[in-house]
Amino acid sequence: MSILKAMHDGVPGRQAPLLVASGASRTAFASSLAHLVELGILERNPGHGHPLRPEFRLTEEGMRFAKMADMIAGALPDESGQSLLRRTWTLPVLAVSGRPRRFVDIKSDLSPITDRALSQSLQKLEARHWLHREIDIASHPPRPIYQAANEGIAISNAISGLL
C-alpha cells in the first residue's frame, strides 16, 4: 500500500525513490513490487530506460488503487495505525464491516479466512477502536455484531467507494 500511496503522491516510479518513500526493506519492497506487477496494478515503463534500473508506472486499474491507498492513509491521524494496516486481514475485514455484520457473515464474505485469523483480526481492530462490537441480545442465543467505527469507517468507505 505504501508503494501505491507514494506513486499517487508523485514519487518517481524508479526503485530507489520508491524504496525510500515506502520505508520497507529491500526484500519486502522487491516482493511487493513484483506482486503489484503480477496483479496488473503496476507495469514497466515501455519507454527508453536503463535495463538494470527499470521504471514503473501505474496502470489504469493501478491509478484507482493508488487513490484508494491515499484515501486510506489520509484516514489515519498518525503513523501508529500503519502496523495494523499491514496485517493480512485488516483491510478485507474493514471493507466488509461498513454495515453491522455477524461473525459468520464476515467469514463467508472473506473465504478462505480461518476462524482464528478472523477472531484475531476482529480483536485487534476492536482494541484499536476501528471496529465496534455490540451484543445483539434480541437474538437467541445472543450474538456479537461488528461494524467499522472511527478511523475504521473512513477506511471502509475509502475501500468500498472505489471497488
Domains (ranges, CATH) in the chain?
A: 2-75 (1.10.10.10), 83-162 (1.10.10.10)
State residue 90's pLDDT score.
94
Q: What is the pLDDT of residues 12-41, one digit of tens each?
A: 888 889 999 988 899 999 999 999 999 999
Stretch 42-55: mean pLDDT, rounded?
79
pLDDT level of residue 46 (50, 70, 90 thresholds): confident
Q: What is the β-pairing status of strands 101-102 and 56-58?
A: unpaired
Stretch 68-94: mean pLDDT, rounded?
88
Q: Say if pTM beats, i.e. exceeds, 0.85.
A: no
**Which one-letter DSSP state was computed for residue 48?**
S
Task: With a cut of 90, say whether residue 100 has pLDDT above it.
Answer: yes
Stretch 72-97: mean pLDDT, rounded?
88
Task: With a cut of 80, say whether residue 163 has pLDDT above it.
Answer: no
Q: What is the pLDDT of residues 110-157, one digit of tens each?
A: 989 999 999 999 999 999 999 999 999 988 899 999 999 999 999 999
| Cα–Cα nearest to 136, from 93, 104, 91, 109 | 104
State residue 75's pLDDT score.
86
Q: Which CB contacts under 8 angstroms, 24+ apart, belong to 77-86?
A: 77/151, 81/128, 81/130, 81/151, 84/124, 84/125, 84/128, 84/130, 85/1, 85/155, 86/1
Q: Could you report how far apart the first and last alpha carbons of the chain are, in Å?
A: 16
Task: With a cut of 90, say whether residue 81 has pLDDT above it.
Answer: no
Q: What is the pLDDT of residues 52-80, one digit of tens each?
A: 678 899 999 999 999 999 999 888 877 77
Q: Where are the alpha helices (DSSP H) in 13-150?
A: 15-22, 26-38, 60-75, 82-85, 90-96, 103-109, 115-127
d(CA 134, CA 144): 5
d(CA 8, CA 47): 20
